[in-house]
Structure 1
Amino acid sequence: MVAPHPSQGVAWITGASSGIGRGLAMQLASEGWQVCASARRQGELDKMAEEAREMAGAVIPVPLDVTDVAGVRAAVDRIEREHGPIALTVLNAGTHQPISAWDFDAGAVQKLLTLNVMGQAYPLEVLLPRMIARGAGRIAVVASVAGYRGLPTAAGYGASKAGVINMCESLRPELSGTGVTLQLVNPGFVRTPLTDKNAFNMPMLMELEDAVASFRRQLDRDKFEIVFPWRFAMIMKLLRILPYGLLFKLTTRMVPKREPAAKETAR
């Protein structure tokens, strides 16, 4: 399929106020795209619009909570009514919270699943019928290499990303021949405000500018999966095929050390 072009419509990016989403929005605007940028932080979106004033394209703030399906539908209606058809979408909204066996929190798991899975599913519900009817459109859904296999402290995050991967793998063959291209994006560690919170070593950490450049190059191709950095992605793919015995020998070494519980003082 031919890569989408600004002449075909607008781009829409969720999770656009920081990190990869922000970087990609600004890159597309510099290329002449009208980029509808969505996130919950209106102030950050307004800053992006101001920064893009001198670019060939523009950033158009569309504040949105992607876990509100009615809000998603209203946002898409507004974008297409005011700015034209959505030709390119990057569903990037998501978050991370470490969860371990020692302090397992089902409520935290639910929050991760709601944002990381349903925050992708609601836009798909609204977009797919429109793009299929037009016979054109490209949607890139951001998951993570953490969804390849279960890893320590990622019981909630990894489960949510695995769900997104499975969802996209299921949809891709059904969209064959419709004119709609669905892509899955699996980043490794990228330096963003989200990963800055991590207290552990992040192998092959990629700088944001390099990650955005790699993402942008691969976005124009028709291959299903976009990965970066590719060496780390290949290592993670190997974990997918390891038998459990060997897998657990490796992942047990990744378990963070816990401070021994303080002994109760006798009274």
Structure 2
Amino acid sequence: MAETITGRRLAWITGASSGIGRAVALKLADRGWQVAVSARSGAKLEALAAERPGLIHAYLLDITEGESVRDAALNIEQSLGPIDLALFSAGGYVRESARRFDAEKLAELFNLNVVGTGHALQAVMAPMIARRRGHIAVVASVAGYIGLPGGGVYGATKSALITLCEALRPQLEREGVVLQVINPGFVDTPMTKTNDFPMPFLIKEDEAADAIIKGLESRRFEIVFPWKMKVAMKLLAALPYPLSLAVTRRMLRKEDAIDSKR
């Protein structure tokens, strides 16, 4: 049975200073939730907390620092109570090419997107398992379905998160904890504003936040939106390699054409 995301419970959202995390924090606060928000930008967190005084609480945090993440989770629970919902949306983005491939950037992004999320998962899973209740949602991406030109490094981190969540879902389910993976398409956020290529089916932050909250209420494993992007990416990923690579080669030619006009 679907659970309505309302009431005076506690959510913890990482990556909440902007984008999807910020939009969801505001919507949960408007539904009566207490919301602990974390990110690396203290000023942005304080500005967000000021928008919903008494409901949103700022906790400065870099998720790549494991001990700090565990301390933050403990501090939140000691100050505000048990975390009912943990939404992990902190992460970064890079584009790469074969000519500009940089293994250090690969390592940095995996450390942020995957290991950093792992620190956050570790911080909440044990307490939730001990209480035999809790709800975790991890923001990955439809980019994790298949490798696309320019998106190999970013997509690899998101594919890793999807795989991790697939493995943890049945184990946590047995412990009374719900785990979901969130796979957005293109959302109009500060991160995507750096893109200089066409972004099909682009949606606003508020639309993404509404889709996430609806998905959280359903408790189904995957929350994916918008539906047109979902269909396109799942179909592409389902194709045999000769066909899918033919499609991605065409994407590469389009990208080369854009580069030549810069």
TM-score by length of 2: 0.94
Measured against aligned partners, the alpha-carbon deviations of 1:162-192 in whole angstroms (never above 9, x if no partner) come to: 0000000000111223210000000000000
CA distance in 2, matches of 1:61, 1:176: 30
Matched to 1:47, the amino acid is A
Query: Equivalent residue for 2:178?
Result: 181
Give, in angstroms, the shift of residue 216 of structure 1: 1.2
| Alpha-carbon contact 2:146-2:237 (below 8 Å) kept | yes
Gaps of 5+ in 1: 261-267
Give, in angstroms, the shift of residue 48 of structure 1: 0.7
Matched to 1:175, the amino acid is L
Query: Equivalent residue for 2:65?
Result: 68
Query: Equivalent residue for 2:13?
Result: 13
**Correspondence 1:98-113 to 2 at 5 A:** 98-113=95-110
CA distance in 2, matches of 1:63, 1:228: 29
Query: Equivalent residue for 2:256?
Result: 257
CA distance in 1, matches of 2:20, 2:181: 15
Cα gap change, 1:6/1:69 in structure 2, threshold over 3 Å: closer, same or farther?
farther
Query: Equivalent residue for 2:202?
Result: 205
Query: Equivalent residue for 1:34?
Result: 34
CA distance in 2, matches of 1:223, 1:52: 29
Which segments of structure 1 move beyond 2 Å, counting only runs of 4 or more? Answer: 1-7
CA distance in 2, matches of 1:2, 1:134: 21
Give, in angstroms, the shift of residue 222 of structure 1: 1.6
Aligned length: 256
> Greater helix share, 1 or 2?
2
Give, in angstroms, the shift of residue 2 of structure 1: 6.1
CA distance in 2, matches of 1:248, 1:150: 9
Query: Equivalent residue for 1:263?
Result: none
**Correspondence 1:1-267 to 2 at 5 A:** 3=3, 6-7=7-8, 9-53=9-53, 58-255=55-252, 256-257=255-256
Q: Percent identity?
A: 46
CA RMSD of aligned residues (A): 1.4
Gaps of 5+ in 2: none
Matched to 2:51, the amino acid is E
Give, in angstroms, the shift of residue 221 of structure 1: 1.1
CA distance in 1, matches of 2:120, 2:208: 24
CA distance in 2, matches of 1:119, 1:142: 12
| Alpha-carbon contact 2:6-2:31 (below 8 Å) kept | no
Measured against aligned partners, the alpha-carbon deviations of 1:215-235 in whole angstroms (never above 9, x if no partner) come to: 111111120000110121121
TM-score by length of 1: 0.93
CA distance in 2, matches of 1:112, 1:156: 8
| Alpha-carbon contact 2:173-2:179 (below 8 Å) kept | no
